[in-house]
Amino acid sequence: MTAAEPMNKVTFDIARVRADFPILAEKVRGKRLAFLDSAASAQKPKQVIEAIVHTYTHEYANVHRGVHYLSERATVAYNAVRAKVQKLINARDENEIVFTSGTTDSINLVAQTFGRATLKAGDEVLVTEMEHHSNIVPWQMLRDEKGITLTVVPFRDDGSLDMDAFRAKLSEKTRLVAVTQVSNALGTINPVQDICRLAHAAGARVLVDGAQGIPHLHTDVQAMGADFYAFSGHKLYGPTGTGALWARAELLDAMPPWKGGGDMIRSVTFAHTDFAEPPHKFEAGTPNIAGVIGMGAGIDWFLSLDRDGLDAHEAELLAYGTERLAEVPGLKMIGTAAEKCAVMSFVLDCAHPHDIGTILDAEGVAVRTGHHCAQPVMEHFDIAATVRPSLGAYSCREDIDQLVVALGKVREMFG
Ligand code: PMP
């Protein structure tokens, strides 16, 4: 049986998907590459690489400002990406999409505009115990500046969010709930639709961190009911330094700008500046032109996949990986929620995660080890770090098998 023919009726053509990723053919330390670090950053299909090369080779100039041919070509290609993001997340209008450098930038934008303008001392921002640091620190900075309260909703020991605690902590003081769609450290899928409904009933806005959700879940911001949605292009098969913030049009209209500069204005005198309409009001300076075009190519590539097939493939692979890892003596999974995807964090009784990562690397297996920018998750389990294999659309059974064999070597070395 090959990875293209798993036991259930998955029709997803994994061999064809893998053929789109030149890097997967690389030998690493003389071994077949088992790339299991897509949660940190996904590899890039040739369609994305070619879009970037094409831009710099044939269509590159600064956008918006030029009347010349190349500037017009670059502007058309760049602007077309807004509609691609709109389609990806089913936003109502493409002008609800602000290009950013990634999830971190998107969340900071919300903190520094919506947060700074509307939150006052005594207001509460509710976050969860499983947030990435990028959905904690911007709110802490605002807390220290404005005297707001940061309230934390715990998760249960299996990694599922404690929704009873969420309901209990939600109050008329809650102005914003900032929650991840999927935990990068645990793989937990949070019930964001329910969270939005409950938060709205309490009069709070909701920011959903989609960094780990967008590559795996069918995301419809209107059905979800969120107010803000942030994601990174590089986790969705696009280039680094790209991403987006989606926000409801009425919120973007009301939010003050954050970064000042070129392209975000209608007119400037020394006495006064008239700002441009959203999204341009939030996009000061020369943008990451080829990067955004590459992100668009990544979205096109992703949306061209058989999504039902991909869902089945990823679910089957997560189940297979979980089952195979359970065979490794002394291995404990961190994050076993019923609703989870793509992430298989674990610790091993005989070795430190960093040592495990180094030995796996020698066997061609790329995994992330550490706290995954989610130190409160580590604190919950009283551990310093985990080993975190994670899946992308191109991951296959051979990758898991290679991981399990390499873990056998770890056991041999550390007993
Ligand atoms: N949130 C989550 C859940 C993440 O996994 C990450 C990236 N590890 C981020 C936010 C930050 O994304 P970026 O570094 O692309 O801004």
Tally of domains in the chain: 2
Q: State the pLDDT at residue 255.
A: 98
- Residues forming beta bridges with residue 267, ordered by sequence position: 274
pLDDT digits (tens, 9 = 90+) for 266-311: 999 999 999 999 999 999 999 999 999 999 999 999 999 999 999 9
The answer on 334 and 290 residing in a single domain is: no
Answer yes or no: do 292 and 327 share one domain.
no
Chosen domain end from 303, 336, 368: 303
Domain limit, last residue, from 283, 303, 323: 303
Q: Are residues 150 and 274 in the same domain?
A: yes
> What is the C-alpha to C-alpha distance for residues 172 and 124, in angstroms, rounded to an integer?
9
Whether residue 104 sits in one domain with residue 30: no
| Judgement on whether residues 40 and 56 belong to the same structural domain of the protein | no
Task: Classify burial at 90, counting beta carbons within 10 Å of its beta carbon; exposed 0-12, middle 13-18, buried 19 or more.
Answer: middle
Q: Which atom of ligand 1 is nearest to the CA of 372?
A: 8
- Does 123 lie in the same domain as 34? no
Report which of 223, 239, 303, 245 is spatially closest to residue 95, judged by C-alpha positions.
245
Is 27 within the bounds of a domain?
Answer: yes
Report residue 30 as tokens. Answer: 């003389």
Give the tens place of pLDDT for each residue, 134-164: 999 999 999 999 999 999 999 999 999 999 9
Instruction: Look at residue 66 in the predicted model and tell me its pLDDT.
Output: 77
Q: Ligand 1 centroid to 211 CA: how many Å?
A: 5
Q: Is 373 a catalytic residue?
A: yes
Tokens in use for 155?
A: 């998760």
Residue 2 falls inside a structural domain: no
Contact indicator for 283, 292 with CB cutoff of 8 Å: no
Residue with token string 């979800």: 224
Question: Rounded to the nearest whole angstrom, what is the distance from the C-alpha of residue 237 to the centroid of ligand 1?
Answer: 14
Closest-CA residue to 32 (of 357, 317, 359, 365): 365
Structure tokens that stand for 33 in this block? 């590459």
Token representation of residue 321: 């990986």
Distance CA 59, CA 254 (A): 35
Ligand 1 atom 6: residue of nearest CA = 211
Task: Identify which of 103, 212, 288, 345 to mutate to test ligand 1's pocket (most ligand atoms within 8 A of the CB).
Answer: 103
Atom of ligand 1 nearest to the CA of 131: 3
**What is the residue range of 361's domain?**
14-44+307-414
The 3-state secondary structure of the chain, one letter per residue: CCCCCCCCCCCCCHHHHHHCCHHHHCEECCEECEECECCCCCCCCHHHHHHHHHHHHHCCCCCCCCCCHHHHHHHHHHHHHHHHHHHHHCCCCHHHEEEECCHHHHHHHHHHHHHHHHCCCCCEEEEECCCCHHHCHHHHHHHHHHCCEEEEECECCCCCECHHHHHHHCCCCEEEEEEECECCCCCEECCHHHHHHHHHHCCCEEEEECCCCCCCCCCCHHHHCCCEEEEEHHHHCCCCCCEEEEECHHHHHHCCCCCCCCCCEEEECCCCEEECCCCHHHCCCCCCHHHHHHHHHHHHHHHCCCHHHHHHHHHHHHHHHHHHHHCCCCEEECCCCCCECCECCEEECCECHHHHHHHHHHCCEECEEECCCCHHHHHHHCCCCEEECECCCCCCHHHHHHHHHHHHHHHHHHC
How far, in Å, is the centroid of ligand 1 from the Cα of 132? 7
Residue 5 falls inside a structural domain? no
Determine, yes or no, domain membership for 272: yes
- Tell which atom from ligand 1 comes closest to the C-alpha of 105: 16
Flag whether 189 is in a domain: yes
C-alpha torsion sign, points 176, 192, 247, 112: positive
- What pLDDT shows up at residue 23? 98
Per the CB < 8 A criterion, the answer to whether 180 and 132 are in contact is yes
Co-location of 115 and 212 in the same domain: yes
For residue 329, report the distance from its CA to the centre of ligand 1, in Å. 32
Which atom, in ligand 1's list, is nearest to the CA of 181?
A: 3
Nearest CA to ligand 1 atom 14: 104
Give 261 Cα–ligand 1 centroid separation in angstroms.
26
Same domain for 343 and 329, yes or no, is yes
- Say which residues have a Cβ less than 8 Å from residue 139's Cβ, sequence separation at least 6: 111, 115, 125, 127, 148, 150, 178
Give the domain-ending residue among 276, 303, 330: 303
96 and 148, same domain (yes or no): yes
Render pLDDT for 356-386 as a digit per residue (tens, 0 to 9). 999 999 999 999 999 999 999 999 999 999 9
Give the closest residue (by CA) to ligand 1 atom 5: 184
Check residue 64 and give its pLDDT. 84
For the chain, give the number of residues: 415
Token pair in block for residue 185 = 């450290």
- CA 186 vs CA 37, 40, 339, 345: distances in Å: 14, 13, 11, 6
126 in Cβ contact with 153 (< 8 Å): yes
Whether pTM > 0.75 for this model: the answer is yes
Kindly list the protein residues whose Cβ atom lies closer than 6 A to any atom of ligand 1: 102-104, 132, 134-135, 180, 184, 209, 211-212, 232, 234, 373
CATH code of residue 410: 3.90.1150.10
Residue of 398, 386, 322 lying closest to 354 (CA atoms)? 386
Q: Tell which one of 104, 127, 369, 375 to mutate to probe ligand 1, the residue whose CB is within 8 A of the most ligand atoms.
A: 104
CB 37 within 8 A of CB 28: no
Report residue 152 CA to chain centroid gap. 21
The β-bridge partners of 98 are 245
Atom of ligand 1 nearest to the CA of 40: 8
Q: Are residues 165 and 104 in the same domain?
A: yes
**What span, in angstroms and rounded, lies between the C-alpha atoms of 168 and 162?**
10
* 216 CA to centre of ligand 1 in angstroms: 14
> What is the mean pLDDT for each group of 10 consecutive residues in the chain (415 residues)?
45 93 97 98 98 98 90 96 98 98 98 98 98 98 97 98 98 98 98 98 98 98 98 98 98 97 92 95 97 98 96 97 97 98 97 97 98 97 98 98 98 89
Cα–Cα–Cα angle for 360, 364, 365, rounded to 5 degrees:
50
pLDDT of residue 415: 74
Catalytic option among 196, 341, 350, 373: 373
